[in-house]
Structure 1
Amino acid sequence: MATEVQVIDSSSVAPSEPTPRKALWLSPLDLVMASRGHTPTVYLYRSHDAASDFFDVARMKTSLAKALVAFYPLAGRVDTDDNGRAQINCNSEGALFVVAHIDRRADDFGHLKPSPELRRLFVPPIEPPSIMLAIQVTFFKGGGVALGMALHHAAIDAMSAFHFIQTWSAFSRDGAAVVELPCHDRALLRARSPPFVHPDTLSVFCPTVTFSETSSGPTTSETFPISHDQLATLKRLCGGGKISTFCAVSALVWQCTCVSRRLPPDAEARLSFPANVRRKTRPPLPDRYFGNAFIWLGATGAARDVASETLASVAGRISGAVRKLDDELVRSAMDHLEITAAETESQRPLKGSMPETELRINSWLGMPVYDADFGWGRPRAMSRAESVRGGFVYLMDVGPEDEGGTCALRVLMCMEAANMSEFERLLYANI
């Protein structure tokens, strides 16, 4: 029998003060993400026995209403302008806020393995789908809370999402907290007029992603810890020096994926990953730019080469793409996306998995993932609630309970269930 949650309350939380009422124009980098829908995440908190007001719902709503004054697009709705282009209608209708109980203990969910069930339990259904932000506070039997959240990708990327959560939690801890205000000027990422796409852009820029609902079997998600010792070994294998953690871990994951999938030797394997452009544009974007400010870069190679090269060589393919990120590449990418905006707007929400030749790695390393103390301590664990698209990987720092221990980071992998055991064997055999 499936576990059920008991919904105690469902309401809308609007900004506590008047906010601008307008249509917020979306940049080309926002538009390409609009069809992705909502990103579901879950935070787990231990109960404080001495705190009679543990996750006081009234306090959570009051602080959310205050945060939504500065982050007012999250209180709006996605719609379209007269030309059919997606925009955010900043109408202050508010965020969905659900309170629920579940007859299970927090420890039953361990380190939060993403799954459709985890999302069903802890992230509220989005109705209507135009809602920008939905939240669910679920109280466990015996204490503890799961904070589930769904943020519409048309509005923000990961950096902006964590900025919002930092602000909301700061207001919950201290109503008079001083916070850094977001920048909502998305025209800073407007395409050029006329647009111009540099001939070299498409050698590293990945403007599209292909999904198929007829994949080679069911997918599954697993999380693999990487210890500090394993990471040190991996970096030595990748040439040491100034190789980044991202490039080293991505090289290992890419190589192990190509081998475990048994790709045809001549097949072109491609790794893609988001690159933050905030410091790459000229002039740079404000540090607290609120929106999507990343483009997808890619590295390619024949499957036989990626599978047989040294890890240093594979890492070099990835770092080579990173080094090409500059203002011209960013501008050309935006111009390309603006030119193809009509095609992007016509896309239905993307479903299915990527081809087995494709791998997409998202890095949350170094981001304030766990900076979400609402006054009752930092979360003991945090993760995506669901990851069902084969070929998607997330690199994440460890949680507060693992800090100071042996684990350096976690690799959240979603791929074909038939290949997962071989991937795990290869992953640890190589480090």
Structure 2
Amino acid sequence: MEDSCMLEEVKVVECCMVTPSEEMPRRGLWLSRLDLMMVNRGHTPNVYFYHSASGDGFFDVARLKAAMAKALVPFYPLAGRLGVDGDGRPEIDCTGQGARFVVARSELAADDFSARQPSPELRRLFVPGDIDDVMLAVQVTFFKCGGVALGTALHHVAIDALSAVHFIQTWSAFSRDGASDGAGAAAAALELPWHDRTLLRARSPPRVINPDALSVFLPLKNDPNIPLPEPSGAAVNEIFVLSKDHVAALKRACGGASTFCALSAHVWRCMCAARRLPTDAETRLTFPANFRRSLRPPLPARYFGNGIIMVGTACKVRDVVADGLEDQAPLAPVAGRIRDAVRGLDDELVRSTIDYLETAPTMPAARSMPATELRINSWLGMPVYDADFGWGKPLAMQRAVQQRAGLVYLADNGEDGGVRVLVSEPSSVLEELRGLLYAKI
């Protein structure tokens, strides 16, 4: 079925605001420099797909709203709006105005979409649009087959992925408790979010001691005489699933490296080959890293906000991949480079990054990455499948759209031990990548 026809098959039947179940004091929430980097990034669109469950009241809208209203009490910034303080600095105005809640119905089936690639059409179908300064918006779409799509849009200025998962866990726990006769055991077991973002203020005076804090914001310097491939079309998406056995083989090839380091090394190598990069060019891999436990003292485990910085490693293409994949150097040293970048995440790197952003004349903007760069976002180990609102865990969870070439997402493939690898690249590169990712280790 054509996407234009699909759009006609999803009809919004209700749109409202869900406000916190208790009155909250109005105040402005100070944002760290790491939050301010995300002001223009907008909302992160994700979608969960659920098969129909037996019994009455499947995805009962009233129950979902009541649970959200309870969750918005401890997560009150998500009921606020993006505003500015008296000095013109962006802040979250904790007004209690609420989160947008949309209900839609469709003549289509959940199975038509649960295996689809992220796309602008998928977002338009299942994730609320035109939400501007709203921090949180959700859409519950009921399919003809009885299944449900739950689309979420959370503003990146308010949260990172860990904080988003924390909110979804809390909302779903309140929903599960809503169907029980107990005293809310599921929600009571959850930890409350920590909202004091002044823990991430710049030092006075700011000082950049670790030079690695700057390097990820600066473009790679390649010899202009080295010909680099030109972009070959718009980025499209493909999800590759690596089996549990494939992941285990990669980890063995990397000398027992972590799943993230082994997979990142493999994807980096395959991308260098698929892009046909010259072996004497400089290439860089970057990734957002959670630093909550790396600060001294550590941030509260449930710090609510952006507790990530970008870290990375760079080297010559020849150090990642030899000519094609026929004459490979060992993969373990590539994984070792990534492991060293992970281990380099310490208090000084984080503080130097914040201080650099404090003194920079302008905030670093999202930019198109050259073919020599790759950014890997890891959702590995995150309990994204804990989004059980009382009717079972989701069949699938994924980004609704991703249109920036050079971005990769790693996520657990349900509970089977495999990994889903979402890659955004021009179709010509994806064609090369298909064979390389699944090549024998």
TM-score bracket relative to the smaller structure: over 0.9
* Counterpart selection for 1:244 from 246, 250, 258: 258
> 2: distance between equivalents of 1:138 and 1:258?
40
* Aligned 8 A contact 2:271 2:433 in 1: yes
TM-score normalised by L of structure 1? 0.92
Aligned residue for 1:20?
Answer: 25
DSSP 3-state at the match of 2:53: coil
> 1: distance between equivalents of 2:114 and 2:97?
36
* Aligned 8 A contact 2:210 2:348 in 1: no
State the superposition RMSD in angstroms.
1.7
In structure 1, what residue type is equivalent to 2:250? L
Closer, same or farther: CA 193–137 of 1 in aligned 2, 3 Å: same
- Report the Cα offset of residue 199 of structure 1: 4.3
Aligned residue for 1:364?
Answer: 379
* Aligned 8 A contact 1:44 1:145 in 2: yes
Q: Select between 419-428 and 249-258 the one with higher mean Cα deviation.
A: 419-428
Unmatched segments (≥5 aa) in structure 2: 179-183, 221-229, 323-328
Aligned residue for 1:344?
Answer: 363
Q: Select between 260-269 and 99-108 the one with higher mean Cα deviation.
A: 260-269
> 2: distance between equivalents of 1:411 and 1:84?
40
* Aligned 8 A contact 2:213 2:352 in 1: no
Aligned residue for 2:314?
Answer: 300
* Counterpart selection for 1:48 from 35, 53, 56: 53
> 1: distance between equivalents of 2:279 and 2:199?
43
* Counterpart selection for 2:127 from 123, 126, 147: 123
Greater than 4 Å deviation, 4+ residue runs: none
> 1: distance between equivalents of 2:392 and 2:440?
37
- Report the Cα offset of residue 215 of structure 1: 4.3
Aligned residue for 1:9?
Answer: 14
Aligned residue for 1:231?
Answer: 247
Aligned residue for 1:139?
Answer: 142
2:397 equivalent to 1:391: no
> 1: distance between equivalents of 2:175 and 2:116?
24
* Aligned 8 A contact 2:213 2:356 in 1: no
TM-score normalised by L of structure 2? 0.90
Q: What is the aligned length?
A: 413
* Aligned 8 A contact 2:99 2:135 in 1: yes
Counterpart mapping for 1:195-234 below 5 A: 195-202=206-213, 206-207=216-217, 215-234=231-250
> 2: distance between equivalents of 1:303 and 1:107?
41
- Report the Cα offset of residue 421 of structure 1: 1.4
> What are the Cα deviations for residues 294-342 of structure 1, in whole angstroms up to 9, with x where unaligned?
11001111123222242111111111111111111111111111112x5
* Counterpart selection for 2:431 from 418, 421, 430: 421
> 2: distance between equivalents of 1:82 and 1:379?
43
2:285 equivalent to 1:271: yes
DSSP 3-state at the match of 1:271: strand
* Counterpart selection for 2:392 from 377, 384, 392: 377
- Report the Cα offset of residue 163 of structure 1: 0.3
In structure 2, what residue type is equivalent to 1:35? N
- Report the Cα offset of residue 209 of structure 1: 8.0
* Counterpart selection for 1:310 from 324, 330, 341: 330
- Report the Cα offset of residue 430 of structure 1: 4.3
In structure 2, what residue type is equivalent to 1:159? L
Closer, same or farther: CA 165–112 of 1 in aligned 2, 3 Å: farther
Aligned residue for 1:184?
Answer: 195
* Counterpart selection for 2:70 from 66, 70, 93: 66
In structure 2, what residue type is equivalent to 1:284? P
Closer, same or farther: CA 170–410 of 1 in aligned 2, 3 Å: same
* Counterpart selection for 2:422 from 412, 424, 428: 412
> 1: distance between equivalents of 2:219 and 2:117?
25
Aligned residue for 2:268?
Answer: 254
> What are the Cα deviations for residues 34-76 of structure 1, in whole angstroms up to 9, with x where unaligned?
22111000000111132x1111111111110110011000011
DSSP 3-state at the match of 1:70: coil
DSSP 3-state at the match of 1:170: helix
Unmatched segments (≥5 aa) in structure 1: none
In structure 2, what residue type is equivalent to 1:310? P
> 2: distance between equivalents of 1:354 and 1:83?
33
Closer, same or farther: CA 73–381 of 1 in aligned 2, 3 Å: same
> What are the Cα deviations for residues 129-152 of structure 1, in whole angstroms up to 9, with x where unaligned?
111101000000120000000000
DSSP 3-state at the match of 1:344: coil
> 1: distance between equivalents of 2:433 and 2:231?
18
